[in-house]
Amino acid sequence: MIPLVYDQINHWGRDDEFFLALLKKLNVQFIADLGCGTGRWTTHLAQKGYIITAIDPNEEAIDMAKSKDHPGNVNWIVGDSTDLQFNTYDAVIMTANVAQVFLTDDSWEQVISDVIQSLKVGGHFIFDTRNPLAKVWKEWEKDKTPDLAKDRLSGDSLEIYTEYEGFEGDIYTFYEIIKNTTIDKVLIHEKMQLRFRTQEEYAESLKQIGFTQIETYGDWEFKQANSENKSFIFHCVK
């Protein structure tokens, strides 16, 4: 997630609508948005009247989020899951496949342990992830066309390229390159890694940490997930 261009190349979609619809069904008020990034989605939550704690380790992203126009019901924090407050939230949510950035079993276990402790009894943990069986990276690797954006300060034209290194085990490595075409200069060349866990691996880890109710939806519909789905949405209850 590169704050400079994130909002320009990630637009409102079915996933955002689904998360909002799910939260509305649950009748929650106090929400932690973990891995909130630039606050692209968080600001929509705020406009719906939720009281939000928004956490991300990227200081530049949080600064950008704070600069956006939204109601004053958001507490922005530069941090991670260890900054979640004990027994506080009606729901903790991680959107945009944030679950995949936790590459080790220990780091994932730390996150879900922090989450379950931060939820009130009956609270909800909601997150999405890609189904490794769908092999979405094959589509990524075929697309050679750069994304286009603007530098929000200078107005210069930017191109975003991706270079793919591939898998080692179940960890996929790629590089995001942002080039300022006005001055013909590469501004950012950043290594990215995602772990592709199976639906069964996620479910087992959530059970082990203490979630007793786990429902998995597929592809942004309120239907039970299956192996054909590209995306899984986990809904766990404490």
Task: List own/partner pairs for 200-208 with CB under 8 A and 24 or more apart.
Answer: 202/99, 202/129, 202/232, 202/234, 203/234, 205/105, 205/108, 205/109, 205/112, 206/112, 206/125, 206/234, 206/236
Question: What pLDDT does 165 receive?
Answer: 96
Q: Please indicate, yes or no, whether the overall pTM of this predicted structure exceeds 0.75.
A: yes
List, in sequence order, every residue forming a beta bridge with 167; answer none if it has no partner. Answer: 172
Token reading at 73: 């019901």
Question: What pLDDT does 4 receive?
Answer: 84
87-104: pLDDT as tens digits: 999 999 999 999 999 999
pLDDT > 90? residue 54: yes
Question: What pLDDT does 174 receive?
Answer: 97
pLDDT > 90? residue 8: no
133-164: pLDDT as tens digits: 999 999 999 998 999 999 888 889 999 999 99
Tell me the mean pLDDT in the region 9-21: 91
Token reading at 168: 């080692």
pLDDT > 90? residue 77: yes
Instruction: Give residue 210's Cα distance to chain centre.
Output: 22
Tell me the mean pLDDT in the region 194-213: 97
CA–CA gap between residue 134 and residue 153 (Å, rounded): 39
Question: What pLDDT does 10 receive?
Answer: 84
1-5, 66-70, 182-186: which has the highest mean pLDDT?
Answer: 182-186
pLDDT > 80? residue 196: yes
Q: Among 2-6, 21-25, 118-122, 158-162, whose mean pLDDT is lowest?
A: 2-6
Phi-psi region of 137 (alpha: psi -120 to 50; beta: other; left: phi over 0): alpha
In the chain, pLDDT over 90 holds for what percent of residues?
Answer: 89
CA–CA gap between residue 216 and residue 236 (Å, rounded): 9
Question: What pLDDT does 72 receive?
Answer: 82
Phi-psi region of 86 (alpha: psi -120 to 50; beta: other; left: phi over 0): beta
When the pLDDT of each residue in the chain is averaged and rounded to a whole number, the result is 95
pLDDT > 90? residue 71: no
